[in-house]
Structure 1
């Protein structure tokens, strides 16, 4: 006999955090009264706040993070048609942003501890066609920044970072955002700090910032003259208003996410083959993602099976990032171009990971229920409909 789901309403990964609605309405009303709805005072204020958080001199706010990655490549001088070394273990938006502007993503294997680019493998991929290295701070944990910086410097390559998950985290005590030639944040609705939809490029290089700002506005410079080719990447005042209201709560949200992370660790402690992925020791982490690994050899069950059991109980876990990017179209159609070497660590990690719900709408009761479902799935192999609401 089938059982009722443990949760009546679905629990989502990345359900948006919502800030003070009255403050949001006030800011939007101010924009309406000014009749300045795009790239106005609210956007400039958001840029100052984000630059301060990132510890950088410059921030260029954008309508999304995908176009911010494209601006970063263009503004740092990555030549048209060049290859860019990227990790295979990332959301497909990372290579897509490059591919869409005529660059060639070349996928690199990962260091499993950080889930970021393996610098030793990246070294093997550098060649005459290489135009840049793009690291990703997966789940907010810094990738091997120091080693990649050394590699990029030795080969005189721009070093970019996709920091979509990284706002508020640190490396050697310095905020994520202040490394490489430029870094890019995401303020998509699913991120713990959101602007409905949006992104930002941060950098200490004034020329990169100047080029990126002009390119984001059809190539129009500060004097209102067209100085380069460009696109329309501008952020709206409404998005900036949401971003500012969201930023007011960044410390509160990080504290809540940290408590959730610890609760998951407690609830899953001692479960064979299941572990909660850790952030960098000694660093501040935003904990906006709770990611578990399910080691089939030890757990006796595959992550797909745990995912299916959770879904039956309205826990909509996510297989971030499965499969790895080099296994997806269009890149899988040309492995000799995009993935010239085996990528076993990326593929192995992609088979093990599950992202679980967290954020302000998730508390102890929800986490305890989710952990109970995961325990049941592992201990029984998920053979039937799962634990009852009274187990």
Structure 2
């Protein structure tokens, strides 16, 4: 693609889109197709499609070894995994969570008539601010859910100290953090339990799926019962339960993805470095950093857009990128507290969440993964720089409805 050099060449100004095919955030990574199909043929030959089959068993063993945990229970998806784990932990009443997260986090509580109490975030880490947690604890509080946003651990030790001192359960939503570590220890082994997402849009996927990791033997036993209707053996139901099982076909995809985990992370890291180089010293935007010696999966390339310094609002930049078929995303807009049913339940929550409100207006996630090349990223960065350079013109064109 010939790099665009003038404002008139931008698609929002009447030019042609930079990309004929759309570039997405989280387009699925496939791994090796032949390896996957070989596993599928084995599943079909065995005619064992679900109910703790050979692939699920192997998948769980490999996850336990990778994460360094005693138990890893594969699930049909991360939302059901959260719901089951919350119930298995005995959470009731109120649980403190960030609003700056995917809506599945509070939904997994509200679905069970547990009140999510929204806590503001640290503007530097984008994760729940432990300094604000203490003031939200009431006699009805039974737990805290921290979210490892962007694959970066939240303040684990600070949250663990509060939970331990106040006798609260501590669960981590690690949907973004598979393959990451904290102080040399893999995410998955902290708190009472941690929940991973293996949804198709995650860098590591099982088509649809999730898992619960824990070192608590009793908790793991309850979760295993609850994910399979409470069956403890043939015709022997001993506990309340639901259907949270992972299928063999999903586990086969997970095993194939595990075989190529480091390869995918290497591509993500390469892409992140390309963005960091292409957007270095651009006024008004900040690329969320990955720092230190810990492992990261680099599955999210996240910008903060400062409207005053950049000369354009994040949403105008988003529209300009969409016009070029660069399908950047606003994560997590507008904040869970502004979605139903929470905006009706807590109409004044925004006043208590100033950092969440501020960040929800600034964050932009850019395409990455195996479907995006370094050349694509050079072009994306060039377009971002051109849009910011002509922020007033682009804003005026969009405000006046040009090419929309």
Scaled by the length of structure 1, the TM-score of the pair is 0.95
Match of 1:177 in 2: 188
1:48 to 38, 58, 61: 61
Q: 1:244: how far off?
A: 0.5
| More divergent stretch after superposition (273-282 vs 342-351) | 273-282
| More divergent stretch after superposition (219-228 vs 155-164) | 219-228
Report Cα offsets for 1:336-380 as digits up to 9, x if no partner. 7x9496101111111110000000111211101111111111111
Residues 1:162 and 2:173 aligned together: yes
Residues 1:207 and 2:224 aligned together: no
Residues 1:83 and 2:61 aligned together: no
Report Cα offsets for 1:85-144 as digits up to 9, x if no partner. 100110111111111122111100011222111001111111111111000011111010
2:66, 2:359 → 1: CA distance? Answer: 31
Q: 1:223: how far off?
A: 6.5
Residues 1:289 and 2:296 aligned together: no
Alpha carbons of 1:348 and 1:203: their partners in 2 closer, same or farther (altered >3 Å)?
Answer: same
Report Cα offsets for 1:258-298 as digits up to 9, x if no partner. 11111101101111011110124222110001011101121
- Contact 1:108/1:339, CA 8 A, preserved across alignment: no
Match of 1:9 in 2: 21
1:105 to 116, 133, 158: 116
Show the 5 A alignment for 1:30-69: 30-38=42-50, 39-69=52-82
Match of 2:329 in 1: 318
Q: 1:222: how far off?
A: 4.8
Match of 1:349 in 2: 359
- Contact 1:214/1:222, CA 8 A, preserved across alignment: no
1:340, 1:301 → 2: CA distance? Answer: 24
1:349, 1:185 → 2: CA distance? Answer: 24
Residues 1:26 and 2:61 aligned together: no
Residues 1:298 and 2:309 aligned together: yes
- Contact 1:142/1:280, CA 8 A, preserved across alignment: no
Alpha carbons of 1:239 and 1:273: their partners in 2 closer, same or farther (altered >3 Å)?
Answer: same
Give the secondary structure class of the aligned counterpart of 2:62: helix
2:211, 2:393 → 1: CA distance? Answer: 46
2:86 to 60, 67, 73: 73
**Structure 2 residue ranges without an equivalent (≥5):** 1-12, 399-404
Alpha carbons of 1:172 and 1:222: their partners in 2 closer, same or farther (altered >3 Å)?
Answer: farther
- Contact 1:277/1:291, CA 8 A, preserved across alignment: yes
- Contact 1:83/1:129, CA 8 A, preserved across alignment: yes
Scaled by the length of structure 2, the TM-score of the pair is 0.92
Match of 1:227 in 2: 238
2:392, 2:238 → 1: CA distance? Answer: 61
**Structure 1 residue ranges without an equivalent (≥5):** 387-391
2:387, 2:346 → 1: CA distance? Answer: 36
Residues 1:125 and 2:144 aligned together: no
Q: 1:35: how far off?
A: 1.1
- Contact 1:257/1:360, CA 8 A, preserved across alignment: yes
- Contact 2:350/2:357, CA 8 A, preserved across alignment: no
1:93, 1:335 → 2: CA distance? Answer: 17
Q: 1:224: how far off?
A: 5.3
Q: RMSD value over aligned CA atoms? A: 1.5
1:14, 1:105 → 2: CA distance? Answer: 27
